[in-house]
Amino acid sequence: MHLIILSGAFGTDFSLPSKDVEAGVAQVAKGILAHGVTSFCPTVITSSPEVYRKILPCIHRTSGSIEGAGVLGKTSTQEAKRHKFPAL
């Protein structure tokens, strides 16, 4: 088993706020599934707290399906407080 951590793919950068972060994550999930990847962890590169506050609440854990690879990871409440960004 391997853990795939991506900061983006297929024209999507998870560290750039967009109007529809969820659609970008879904696009990557669908794209990587076609290459045999069944789950991944979307990663936001080092950014300002404002960027974290905009993006992190839009990334949700999902199960993999024929629609796309599963999305792994969640920010714990304790970790969020330590880094001053919202828990997911």
Residue 84 has pLDDT above 70, yes or no: no
The verdict on residue 64 lying in a domain is yes
Domain of residue 66, residue span: 5-83
pLDDT band per the 50, 70, 90 thresholds, residue 1: low
Q: Given this model, what pLDDT does residue 4 score?
A: 78
Two tokens, residue 69 = 């690879």
Cα four-point dihedral sign 54, 56, 60, 66: positive
Residue 19 has pLDDT above 60, yes or no: yes
Q: What is the mean pLDDT of residues 18-42?
A: 91
Give the residue carrying structure tokens 């905009």.
54
CA dihedral 29, 33, 34, 35 (to 10 degrees): 110
pLDDT band per the 50, 70, 90 thresholds, residue 29: very high
Q: Rounded distance, CA 56 to CA 82, Å?
A: 15
This prediction's pTM? 0.77
The verdict on residue 88 lying in a domain is no
The verdict on residue 45 lying in a domain is yes
